[in-house]
Amino acid sequence: MNLQTSLPSGKPKTWKARYTVLTLIWLAWLLSFLDRMVMSVSLPYIGKDLNLDTTQQGLIISAFFIGYAAFQIPGGLLADKFGSRKIMAIGIAWWSVFTSLTGAVLTLPLMLAVRFFFGIGEGCFPSASWKMISTYFPSKERGRATAIQSTVNTLGPALAVVVAASIIGAFGWHMVFIVLGIPGLFIAAGIYLFTRDNPKDHPAITQQDLADLAADDQGGLQNTSAIAFKDVLKMPVLWQMASIWFLFDITFWGFSTWLPSYLITVREFSLAKTGVMAAIPFLFGAGGTLIGGYCSDKFKPMRKTLYVATSVIAAGFLYLTFSVSSADMAVVYQCISALFMFFAMATFWGILMDTIPSNIMGRASGIVNFGGQMAGVVSAPIIGWLIQSSGGSYNSAFIFMIAALLCSAVVTLTVKGSHAVGAIPSKA
């Protein structure tokens, strides 16, 4: 029976097809963060079992980022060519298999290989997911949609600490990865079964949904179906957005990766207290993401201004985090900084989806996210070197992160209005 015909006439559906699509994408994103972030908790135990020093342990992290970054652009190309649905399903199943294989590895070379291939699977997913969101959601709702999706950036790391600590305490680090590889297979199947690349083909889509999407098409996105990749690369706004995301992610990955170490080493928190205090800022970040998404849609013409303002505020509180003498106040300032930082992140993706046509979003967002993952590759060793060269002080590392966030705000000021059509170079 057709779902639409079973509804009473005149009563619109409250649950739309795009909400189902977003729910599945959200679950996949949450799992992707869980699968990658549990490594930060497991790493000391892996190092002990495999007799690895800290440099070798760092290589394990880098192996993931290399694979993840390498497939940002190919993942976007594949999503544009074969559709988001297939690429997401295959990518999730792929990384889930290598998540479980991580728990079976007993040597460093094999661990590096497994984490690299795990990164490839995760690298295929982001561009395909953003393409599907931009395809299913009208412009007026994309800010909230991306904000909901982006809550995993905060909930994932917070939940990963709890999940990893619980499983490691009971069964050891091997079981963390073996267990977390299983849910992805079900999510991959759900995405393949309950999404479609074209909203018109979704069995639960309504005529009103299609009318909302068609209204966006009338805004100028309809004549971009045969854009060559080389022409996409010539879009100035694309490189502006990639630069912004690179600079933002220097701060994001620095904040996410080094926060527990900072609390233990500098603020002298116990491991148990660190587990709680390191999770709280990410919960504030989740709130900031949702508020940012709402404000991004509510004040759509001001998205750029919102990003700049909240980035500057986040940088200010990040400075207070390391400069304040009170350890408890440092946590308070971390929470406030996280709230505004993730508010800015939500507005960023709203800006991107307004400036890039949806039918090249796979390729374009792949390039942008590649910039972000390159930040993950370079920021970890730079921050580590800054801490080491400062005799264990984190001050220079914080200044580095603050400078990157402020620079992202400066670059944002150079982005001009909507580039839906004008940014695509015409062929000679």
**Per-residue pLDDT tens digits for 91-132:** 999 999 999 999 999 999 999 999 999 999 999 998 899 889
**Of residues 41 and 191, more confidently modeled:** 191
pLDDT at 413: 93
pLDDT at 197: 92
**What are the residue boundaries of the structural domains of the chain, listed by start?**
18-198+226-412
What confidence tens digit (pLDDT) does each residue in 10-21 have?
445 578 889 999
pLDDT at 419: 45
- Is the pLDDT assigned to residue 326 strictly greater than 80? yes
**Of the candidate ranges 90-104, 106-120, 225-239, 382-396, the one whose mean pLDDT is the lowest:** 225-239
The token pair at 36 is 């990658």
> Can you spell out the DSSP letters for 139-199?
HHHHHHHHHHHHTHHHHHHHHHHHHHHHHHHHH-HHHHHHHHTTHHHHHHHHHHHH--SSG
Please give the mean pLDDT across all residues of the chain.
Answer: 85
Which residue type does 411 have?
V
Mean pLDDT of 317-328: 94
**Of residues 378 and 133, more confidently modeled:** 133
Homologous superfamily of 18-198+226-412: MFS general substrate transporter like domains (1.20.1250.20)
- Is the pLDDT assigned to residue 211 strictly greater than 90? no
Percentage of residues in the chain with pLDDT exceeding 90?
A: 43
> Can you spell out the DSSP letters for 63-78?
HHHHHHHHTHHHHHHH
- Is the pLDDT assigned to residue 236 strictly greater than 50? yes
CB 277 within 8 A of CB 331: yes
Output helix, strand, coil percentages for the chain, rounded to the nearest 5: 80, 0, 20
pTM of the model: 0.72
